[in-house]
Amino acid sequence: MRIGLIAGSGIEDLYDDRRARPRTVATEYGDVEVYLLDAEGREVVFLPRHGKGHSVPPHRVNYRANIRALAELECRCVIATNAVGSMNPNMGPGDFVVVDQFLDFTKQRPLTFFDGQDGVVRHVDMTEPYCPRIREVLRRAGEGAPGGSLHSGGTYICAEGPRFESPAEIRMFAQLGADVVGMTGVPELVLAREAGLCYATACVVSNWAAGIGEGPITHEEVVGIMAEREAALVALLRAAVASLTDDPDCACHHPFDR
């Protein structure tokens, strides 16, 4: 089984493995650059979400091409990472959060494979948005992670970006039940579900959300925390890749069978 690994901000070089084989995958939504590599005895397709050198902002990431490329390369399971700000006092900078729910506050992104052009209207179920099998693998993989702690469960809210939020927006998001905020989780997970892939993400808290910590959110702060946690995140991902198995009966693979 091939495993897709979508790497977010700060960790694009995570698997900067000299043996990685670059490959361009042509999809109907555009070309995608990926890197094929062997990690922990598994075939991994490494996909830097923001492109090489972090050149694509969150609202312009070609999410449909990315997920389609992974599906075409027969990745049945996808592990993602996202940098997030936290509005939950228990989830501080440096912590990992394996979220299990999401709120969508994006505004202008193509968010489905089912656009109606083929005359088919489909509504994918979102009761269990993130694959429970992969979430459990990530939780176990992070159990022994040095420093910080791993939270199993939490609600991710996706803001449009690329600006950070205002403190008033963060207060609203917290009241709505969000724990962490990012800019890239949606529509990625929605498309993965529509494509019948198992998908879950390990979020890394890079900062307190606006108005929660002191002063403005600085790029240096975010990059600094991500760099500090890189080794632990690599260890977590390696452990997850090593133990992840596929299950043909997993509900994620049958999103429209009901």
The single residue among 81, 106, 155, 207 that binds ligand HPA, judged by CB under 6 A, is 207
Least Å from the CB of residue 198 to ligand HPA: 24
- Count the residues of the shown chain that bind ligand HPA, applying the rule CB under 6 A: 14
d(CA 32, CA 246): 24
Q: 178 and 169 in contact (C-beta within 8 Å)? A: no
The single residue among 77, 141, 159, 192 that binds ligand HPA, judged by CB under 6 A, is 159
67 in helix, strand or coil?
helix
Q: By CB under 6 A, tell whether 173 contacts ligand HPA.
A: no
Least Å from the CB of residue 10 to ligand HPA: 9
Q: What is the crossing angle of helices 132-143 and 219-243, to 10°?
A: 110
Q: 190 and 111 in contact (C-beta within 8 Å)? A: yes
Q: By CB under 6 A, tell whether 178 contacts ligand HPA.
A: no
Q: By CB under 6 A, tell whether 85 contacts ligand HPA.
A: yes
The single residue among 104, 165, 179, 194 that binds ligand HPA, judged by CB under 6 A, is 165
Q: 243 and 142 in contact (C-beta within 8 Å)? A: no
Q: 185 and 6 in contact (C-beta within 8 Å)? A: no
The single residue among 222, 241, 244, 251 that binds ligand HPA, judged by CB under 6 A, is 222
Q: By CB under 6 A, tell whether 181 contacts ligand HPA.
A: yes
